[in-house]
């Protein structure tokens, strides 16, 4: 069989040519114009129908959703921690105290991030009672103020360079927003230095406290202007040495329902980052 | 292999011929298409070669010369030391088994065959991807290594499975081939010894007695009444006498040579071994058989075709999207990983295994129906058979002589020839019958072997020749205990049948105590018997035999003879008591009793009758568009009679000779086109050119080849194959093995077949019954249909598995389904359902349509691929996407937020990705959601595959016509699908590596409307196909 099927190149070409266009039957790619018309029409109708059907079922599915609160929140029972400024790759901050351009990006990022926290932005927000969950019944939900002053040295108000120029860089730690989350106990962010004891670490507000009044969160649509509480970490690098590298780990503490120990999720209730400062 | 074969040939061939032959072997196919003279030369060569190989002259030598040639002594035999030397020189006296492919090669072939090569490529790409990642980032995730390893594991597992299946089916056969080691009685060191036949060497003097197999080619030195059955070698069914005389130039014809593997039926023979092992005639033929190439089975071609299509689609889509991905500025590494995903999604990993299982299930089913399949793929080949070349004896007939007609009282009576003879309806009241039955009973030497009291009469073993056995059983059935009757009519004297007398005679005392006369009974060739008679018995009275009665006798004789039956005449004479008193001593040598002026009683004719199931089976073949050709070594008249009675030549069709006879004109004047049937004898065939043979095969619907040699079978098979037919050939003799090998499907007889034939065949009929072939054909056709369904079912979900990758690349959604999850569908949930389709009953009478054309009716045709991929597959993909979107939307990621989210979604450093509602997700939380998405997509496909499975039950009929619950295995399949799905999601949901999560129960029902839609759509498709056959819809939508 195989021997017979081995045709010369010319024959092969001719066959292909005939397949692409056959002048005797008027077939193009094995079908006549009419046949092509029919088949294309069929697929047009068929796929049109399928598209309409899919759109319809999607629409029905979307009708089951609530625009304010997601139907299920089981996949995010506990918040993750994230730091600012957002480093480009991995969680590593590298800068040189003497070179302002090396940390200009970080400062810009921080400023951008803290923009909603400026006084002007916050003037419409409510001052809420401290130390207790701020539960609301709606229909209008108000957001609590988060005075930037709480961040003290890292608020950017006293030091527009957030300490980078002095070798005391500020890193903001924030807890991920989760709708309806009600932390128990007295949650705080606890930061420790790994393998380093010469450097100091300061958290603002004092002790890294997170006030319960910022919880629960009612969702982007209802809870307009919501500001999540922040904790600033200021690492004071020893001024004497030329190059410093420290690793900081922050985790949520003091609240039994906020997890911070998960084998797989390294950001659930904790965050680890590295700061490398050159002279 | 080839080298080895030509060595075997060159033993007997001259150098030049050897070259010609090897050339032919290589260019067989080319030669076929060339001019006729070339073909004729080939044919001639083949015959010449065969003769050449038989260059033996030992039959011409006398004993003295033989002793000298082989250095032996006829009385004392070889010495043990000499024998040992010869054994060391020539090797054991056994046939070299055909060279087997080494097991490891078989195993490796499974590893790289089919889709495996694609998966290997996928696995290596995975590892390469990891290598590149690792070189740039030491902490690169091991996911790709795992995936690569899983792919390799899949290849190895499917390979091992396929290998195991093959080994299992080969084992069935090899157990069949096991023979009991043969012993031979040999004279060595002047002593008679029994040694294993394998240790025989040339020059050994052996003794063989009736019932033994001839242990080597031997030259007869002395014999006593020896007859051998050469049918396995030459196809002659008559026992051949053997003696020490040299009677013919041709070693095959001469009486003083017995051949290896033939059987000595009776008598004893002493002879000298002249050839052993592969140098025997059988050895030569066996190597000739291995020289005939095995054609690829149709299903193997179909599977290959299918693999090509799917691999082509996989590779071209893969490369297309690789290019798209690269031009969309994806990194090459990522694009490579997409490529792997696309390949894995496209390859139906489980399918080839499923096909194997399906075939072996059918093989098992066929074994139950007495077709033992040696080669799995032969199961389907039988279904596509368009010509069956069948043997007559044993296959179409019962292989035993049976009384078919009786003639007495000037009348022909029909006897029942069915397998159990239960229904003998002819008139038994006439006193002529009483006399005739007495002759039949008494003038018969055959006896039942003792100890068979509980065996039905027709199955009892008998000592005696075929005709006598037939008569014995016939009379036993009608008259009861024959032995008792013989006892009452004590035999005084007898003359056994011999070929010069052509009659058999015996004289008995009668069972009437008052009648002191002796009764002489005689049977024999009718014309001989008639010569000896002067009267004829009609209605119990003796009438003188005049011309008119003689004429009626001749008409009856001719009529019965014309039916191809063996006719015997019967006569008797009561010897007058006065001349032959009780004390009279009969002397058979002096013949002191009359043997003329006897009373003619009747005729009785015997035939090897067709099996009762055969006519039905032949009709079935005919309606199934299968041509049945009878090839027999028998006489044309007998062949034609049997062909007519089983319907191979139908009642209203005539041969050229019939027409000539009817119109009373010479054969040459008959218009060839008027005849539908043809009877071709071996002699005619010998003088025919290949074109003439082709013409006969093409023009006649009903063909019988009579008086053919087994070698001519090969020519007939080749002729049929030139008509583009798929040819099934039955055979039992050693000489049939080349034809069996050459045939698309060789069918050997389990009972009568020789081992060589069984070796060469693809299938063994355990009951030697033609009807079993037809059952096999039915099963073969069913399996082809069901394989189509299985493949359509399996291909469908490939689109649903592929679309996610395409959407992922183009629209940047989080990956809807992972590669490992795909493997769980292909090798997990879908396996049992696709096997379940093998149990589906036929949709309509599959024996009423033409056999499939092996080049036009493909297993996987365009409508099948298009309908599976672009219709149902796409609907499935949409349904699965619906489940996926639902899961994401209900967790907070609405469909529109997902678009182009891929980069951020997969970035390990983004741990606060915001969803539609303002919540923030860590990477791991997203990943977990992604796995939930995989599970959801998986469940979506699973639910719709259930609908897919149900619609695949039929291709044309409505499911409700077919019956939703008739095939219970389908429901087992559906249950298995659901259970495996539940286990994966809820049982193994916590095993991270598998990427399954516990899915909310309601997501199982999201795709149900799509599943129902699939069902409804397919019902509509089938409805239009049934309503408008031949329409545009039918052509484009029927697969």
pLDDT digits (tens, 9 = 90+) for B957-967: 899 988 888 88
Average pLDDT of the segment spanning B570-574: 91
pLDDT digits (tens, 9 = 90+) for B268-278: 888 888 888 87
Beta carbons within 8 Å of B1030's beta carbon, 6+ residues apart: none
Q: Greater confidence, B540 or B521?
A: B521
CB-CB under 8 Å, B918 with A265: no
Q: Tell me the nearest-neighbour CA distance from A231 into chain B, angstroms.
A: 16
Chain B residues with CB under 8 Å of A43 CB are 870
Return the residue in B919, B930, B1037 with the most chain A beta carbons within 10 A, the one to mutate for interface testing: B919
- The chain-wide mean pLDDT, for chain B, equals 82
Which has the minimum average pLDDT: A27-31, A184-188, A246-250, B682-686? A27-31
CB-CB under 8 Å, B909 with A265: no
Asked if the C-beta of B653 comes within 8 angstroms of chain A's C-beta atoms, the answer is no
CB-CB under 8 Å, B915 with A82: no
pLDDT digits (tens, 9 = 90+) for B614-626: 899 899 898 889 9
Chain A residues with CB under 8 Å of B919 CB are 70, 73, 76, 176-179, 219
Q: Tell me the nearest-neighbour CA distance from B445 into chain A, angstroms.
A: 58
Terminal C-alpha separation, chain A: 80
**Residues across chain B:** 1039
- pLDDT tops 50 at residue B2: no
- pLDDT tops 60 at residue B6: no
Which residues face B677 on adjacent strands?
A: B702
Beta carbons within 8 Å of B511's beta carbon, 6+ residues apart: B485, B488, B489
- pLDDT tops 90 at residue B732: no
Which positions 907-946 of B are in contact with A (Cβ < 8 Å)? 909, 911-912, 914-925, 928-929, 932
pLDDT digits (tens, 9 = 90+) for B51-95: 444 567 788 888 888 888 888 888 888 888 888 888 888 888 877
Residue A239: predicted pLDDT = 67
Residue B400: predicted pLDDT = 80
Instruction: Give the number of C-alpha atoms closer than 13 A to the C-alpha of residue B500, restricted to the C-beta side.
Output: 1
pLDDT digits (tens, 9 = 90+) for B986-996: 988 777 778 89
Average pLDDT of the segment spanning A220-237: 88
* Packing angle, helices B36-52 and B690-699, rounded to 10: 110
d(CA B42, CA B49): 10
Residue B31: predicted pLDDT = 36
- pLDDT tops 60 at residue A96: yes
- Per DSSP, the residues of B594-646 read --SSEEEEEEEEEE-PBPTTHHHHHHHHHHTT-EEEEE-SS-HHHHHHHHHHH
- pLDDT tops 60 at residue A189: yes
- Closest partner residue to B29 (CB to CB) among A1, A82, A223 is A1
- What proportion of chain B, given as a percentage, has pLDDT over 90? 18
- pLDDT tops 90 at residue B734: no
Residue A24: predicted pLDDT = 78
- Closest partner residue to B919 (CB to CB) among A71, A174, A177 is A177
Query: B877 to chain A: nearest residue by CA?
Result: A54
Question: How many distinct helices (H) and strands (E) make up chain B?
Answer: 40, 28
Residue B32: predicted pLDDT = 36
Residue B34: predicted pLDDT = 35
- pLDDT tops 90 at residue B387: yes
Which has the minimum average pLDDT: B262-271, B626-635, B814-823? B262-271
Chain A residues with CB under 8 Å of B886 CB are 61
Which residues face A32 on adjacent strands?
A: A27
Q: Greater confidence, B593 or B920?
A: B920
Which has the minimum average pLDDT: B18-22, B481-485, B626-630? B18-22
Which has the minimum average pLDDT: A20-24, B241-245, B888-892? A20-24
Average pLDDT of the segment spanning A194-208: 78
pLDDT digits (tens, 9 = 90+) for B865-879: 899 999 999 999 999
Asked if the C-beta of B1028 comes within 8 angstroms of chain A's C-beta atoms, the answer is no
- What proportion of chain B, given as a percentage, has pLDDT over 70? 89
Cβ atoms of B258 and B220 within 8 Å: the answer is yes
Residue A275: predicted pLDDT = 86
Residue B181: predicted pLDDT = 52
Count of Cβ atoms closer than 10 Å to residue B175 Cβ: 8
pLDDT digits (tens, 9 = 90+) for B76-86: 888 888 888 88
Tokens 């983004």: give the residue: B910
């Amino acid at each position: 069989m195989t021997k017979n099927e081995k045709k010369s190149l010319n024959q092969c070409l001719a066959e292909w040519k005939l397949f692409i266009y056959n002048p005797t039957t008027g077939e193009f790619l094995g079908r006549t114009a009419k046949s092509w018309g029919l088949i294309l029409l069929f697929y047009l109708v068929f796929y049109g129908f399928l598209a309409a059907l899919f759109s319809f079922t999607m629409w029905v599915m979307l009708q089951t959703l609530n625009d304010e609160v997601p139907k299920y929140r089981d996949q995010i029972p506990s918040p993750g921690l994230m730091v600012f400024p957002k480093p480009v790759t991995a969680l590593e901050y590298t800068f040189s105290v003497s070179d302002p351009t090396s940390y200009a990006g970080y400062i810009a990022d921080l400023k951008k991030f803290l923009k909603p926290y400026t006084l002007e932005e916050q003037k419409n927000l409510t001052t809420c009672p401290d130390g207790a969950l701020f539960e609301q019944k709606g229909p209008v939900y108000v957001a609590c103020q988060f005075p930037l002053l709480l961040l003290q040295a890292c608020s950017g108000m006293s030091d527009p360079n957030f300490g980078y120029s002095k070798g005391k860089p500020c890193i903001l730690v924030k807890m991920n927003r989760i709708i309806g989350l009600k932390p128990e106990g007295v949650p705080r962010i606890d930061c420790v230095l790994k393998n380093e004891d010469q450097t100091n670490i300061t958290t603002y507000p004092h002790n890294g406290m997170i006030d319960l009044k910022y919880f629960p969160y009612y969702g982007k649509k209802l809870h307009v202007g919501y500001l999540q509480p922040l904790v600033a970490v200021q690492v004071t690098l020893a001024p004497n040495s030329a190059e410093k590298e420290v690793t900081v780990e922050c985790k949520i503490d003091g609240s039994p329902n906020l997890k911070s120990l998960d084998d797989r999720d390294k950001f659930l209730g904790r965050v680890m980052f590295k700061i490398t400062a050159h002279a | 292999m080839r080298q080895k074969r030509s060595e075997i040939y060159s033993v007997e061939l001259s150098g030049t011929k050897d070259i010609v032959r090897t050339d032919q072997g290589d260019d067989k196919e080319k030669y076929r298409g060339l001019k006729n003279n070339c073909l004729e030369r080939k044919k001639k060569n083949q015959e010449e070669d065969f003769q050449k190989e038989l260059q033996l002259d030992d039959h011409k030598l006398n004993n003295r010369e033989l002793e000298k040639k082989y250095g032996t002594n006829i009385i004392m035999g070889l010495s043990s030391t000499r024998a040992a030397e010869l054994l060391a020189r020539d090797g054991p006296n056994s046939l070299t088994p055909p060279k087997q492919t080494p097991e490891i090669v078989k195993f490796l072939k499974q590893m790289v065959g089919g889709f495996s090569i694609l998966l290997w490529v996928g696995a290596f790409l995975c590892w390469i991807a990891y290598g590149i990642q690792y070189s740039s980032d030491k902490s690169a995730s091991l996911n790709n290594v795992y995936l690569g390893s899983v792919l390799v594991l899949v290849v190895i597992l499917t390979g091992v499975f396929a290998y195991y299946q093959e080994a299992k089916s080969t084992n069935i056969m090899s157990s069949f081939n096991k023979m009991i080691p043969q012993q031979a009685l040999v004279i060595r060191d002047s002593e008679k010894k029994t040694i294993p036949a394998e240790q025989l060497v040339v020059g050994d003097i052996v003794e063989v007695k009736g019932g033994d197999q001839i242990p080597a080619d031997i030259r007869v030195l002395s014999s006593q009444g020896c007859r051998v059955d050469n049918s396995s070698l030459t196809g002659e069914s008559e026992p051949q006498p053997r003696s020490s005389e040299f009677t013919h130039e041709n070693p095959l014809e001469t009486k003083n040579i017995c051949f290896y593997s033939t059987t000595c039926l009776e008598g004893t023979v002493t002879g000298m071994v002249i050839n052993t092992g592969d140098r025997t005639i059988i050895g030569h033929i066996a190597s000739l058989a291995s020289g005939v190439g095995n054609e690829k089975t149709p299903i193997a071609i179909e599977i290959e075709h299918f693999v090509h299509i799917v691999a082509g689609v996989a590779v071209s889509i893969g490369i297309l999207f690789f290019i798209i991905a690269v031009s969309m500025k994806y990194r090459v590494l990522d694009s490579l990983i997409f490529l792997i995903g696309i390949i894995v999604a496209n390859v139906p990993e489980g399918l080839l295994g499923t096909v194997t299982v399906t075939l072996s299930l059918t093989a098992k089913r066929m074994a139950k129906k007495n077709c033992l399949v040696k080669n799995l793929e032969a199961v389907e080949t039988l279904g596509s058979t368009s010509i069956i070349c069948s043997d007559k004896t044993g296959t179409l007939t019962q292989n035993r002589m049976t009384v078919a007609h009786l003639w007495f009282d000037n009348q022909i009576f029909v006897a029942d020839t069915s397998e159990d003879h239960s229904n003998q309806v002819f008139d038994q009241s006439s006193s002529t019958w009483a006399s005739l039955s007495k002759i039949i009973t008494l003038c018969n030497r055959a006896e039942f072997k003792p100890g068979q009291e509980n065996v039905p009469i027709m199955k009892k073993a008998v000592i005696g020749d075929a005709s006598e056995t037939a008569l014995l059983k016939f009379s036993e059935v009608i008259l009861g205990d024959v032995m008792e009757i013989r006892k009452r009519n004590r035999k005084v004297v007898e003359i056994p049948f011999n070929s010069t007398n052509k009659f058999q005679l015996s004289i008995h005392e009668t069972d009437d105590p008052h009648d002191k006369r002796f009764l002489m009974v005689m049977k024999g060739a009718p014309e001989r018997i008639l010569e000896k008679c002067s009267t004829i018995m009609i209605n119990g009275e003796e009438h003188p035999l005049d011309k008119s009665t003689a004429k009626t006798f001749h008409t009856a004789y001719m009529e019965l003879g014309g039916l191809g039956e063996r006719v015997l005449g019967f006569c008797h004479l009561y010897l007058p008591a006065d001349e032959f008193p009780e004390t009279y001593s009969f002397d058979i040598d002096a013949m002191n009793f009359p043997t003329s002026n006897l009373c003619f009683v009747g005729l009785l004719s015997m035939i090897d009758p067709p099996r009762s199931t055969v006519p039905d089976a032949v009709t079935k073949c005919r309606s199934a568009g299968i041509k049945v050709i009878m090839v027999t070594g028998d006489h044309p008249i007998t062949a034609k009679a049997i062909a007519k009675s089983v319907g191979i030549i139908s009642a209203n069709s005539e041969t050229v000779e019939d027409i000539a006879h009817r119109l009373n004109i010479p054969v040459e004047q008959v218009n060839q086109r008027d005849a539908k049937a043809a009877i071709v004898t071996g002699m005619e065939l010998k003088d025919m050119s290949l074109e003439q043979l082709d013409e006969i095969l093409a023009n006649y619907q009903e063909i019988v080849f009579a008086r053919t040699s087994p070698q001519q079978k090969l020519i007939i098979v080749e002729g049929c194959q030139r008509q583009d037919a798929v040819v099934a050939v039955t055979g039992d003799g050693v000489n049939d093995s080349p034809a069996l090998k050459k045939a698309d499907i060789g069918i050997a007889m389990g009972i009568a077949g020789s081992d060589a034939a069984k070796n060469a065949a693809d299938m063994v009929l355990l009951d030697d019954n033609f009807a079993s072939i037809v059952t096999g054909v039915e099963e073969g056709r069913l399996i082809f249909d069901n394989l189509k369904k299985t493949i359509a079912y399996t291909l469908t979900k490939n689109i649903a598995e592929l679309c996610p990758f395409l959407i992922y690349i183009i629209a940047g959604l989080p990956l809807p389904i992972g590669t490992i999850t795909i493997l769980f569908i292909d090798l997990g949930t879908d396996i049992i359902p696709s096997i379940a389709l093998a149990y589906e009953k036929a949709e309509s009478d599959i024996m009423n349509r033409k056999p499939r054309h092996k080049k036009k009716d493909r297993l996987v045709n365009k409508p099948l691929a298009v309908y599976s991929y672009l219709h149902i597959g796409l609907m499935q993909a949409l349904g699965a996407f619906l489940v996926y979107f639902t899961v994401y939307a209900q967790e907070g990621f609405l469909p529109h937020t997902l678009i182009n989210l891929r980069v951020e979604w997969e970035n390990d450093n983004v741990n606060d990705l915001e969803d539609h509602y303002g919540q923030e997700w860590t990477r791991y939380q997203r990943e977990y959601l992604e796995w939930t998405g995989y599970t959801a997509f998986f469940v979506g496909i699973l639910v719709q595959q259930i609908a897919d499975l149900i619609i695949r039950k039929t291709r044309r009929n409505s499911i409700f016509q077919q019956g939703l619950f008739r095939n219970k295995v389908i429901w087992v399949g559906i249950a298995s699908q659901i259970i495996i799905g539940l286990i994966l999601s809820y049982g193994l949901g916590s095993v991270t590596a598998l990427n399954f999560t516990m899915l909310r129960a309601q997501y199982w029902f999201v795709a149900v409307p799509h599943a129902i839609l699939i069902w409804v759509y397919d019902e509509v498709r089938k409805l239009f196909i049934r309503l408008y056959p031949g329409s545009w819809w039918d052509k484009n939508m029927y697969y």
